[in-house]
Amino acid sequence: MGSRGHPFSKMRSGSIEPFEPRRLAALVFSQSKADGVRHTLIVDEVSIDSPTADHAAPQKMKSNLPAPQGPVARGYDRHIDVSWSPITSVQLRRYVIYRSRDGKNFSPIGIQEPGIHRFTDFLGKSGENATYRCDRF
């Protein structure tokens, strides 16, 4: 099937690389626990980035946006609430929240849409420490 008739042919690329729907082999959704309960999944945004574009495109996209001020983390028994000063720009697509357990190596743990400037990180047990960073795209 050519890319014109592909179900994803109307998707636009947010990357410097064009999106080629014919190269999409699978789109998989899964849950981490098989609990035997029927679930409903509602998808309101799909973003597909290639590994090579992952580092170049976001840097270019966010360059016009001011950095989020903060974040500020407030610890509770088994979770941490992270908040930051919001960015008011129509160019903002999302915030990406990163966590580090050693204060050096950060990994993405979640995304938040514009208009919401907080994120809850459930660590699962008491006495855990983490450092956070928030970026914008």
| Domain architecture of the chain: domains with CATH | 1-57 (no CATH), 64-136 (2.60.40.10)
Contact 84, 68 (CB under 8 A): yes
- Taking a C-beta distance cutoff of 8 angstroms, is the pair 99, 130 a contact? yes
Residue 81 is predicted with a pLDDT of 94
Between residues 2 and 67, which one has the greater pLDDT? 67
Confidence of residue 105 (pLDDT cuts 50, 70, 90): very high
User: If you average pLDDT over residues 16-43, what whole number do you get?
Assistant: 76
For residues 34 and 80, the model is more confident at: 80
CA-based nearest residue to 121, from 83, 86, 82, 84: 82
Q: Are 82 and 119 in contact (CB under 8 A)?
A: yes
Is the confidence at residue 44, as pLDDT, over 90? no
pLDDT of res. 74: 93
Overall average pLDDT of the 59-78 stretch: 76
SS3 of residue 71 by DSSP: strand
Q: What pLDDT, on a 0 to 100 scale, did the predictor assign at position 99? A: 92
How confident is the model over 53-64, as pLDDT tens digits?
444 444 454 457
Name, in order, each residue with C-beta under 8 angstroms of 49's C-beta and a sequence gap of 6 or more.
14, 15, 57
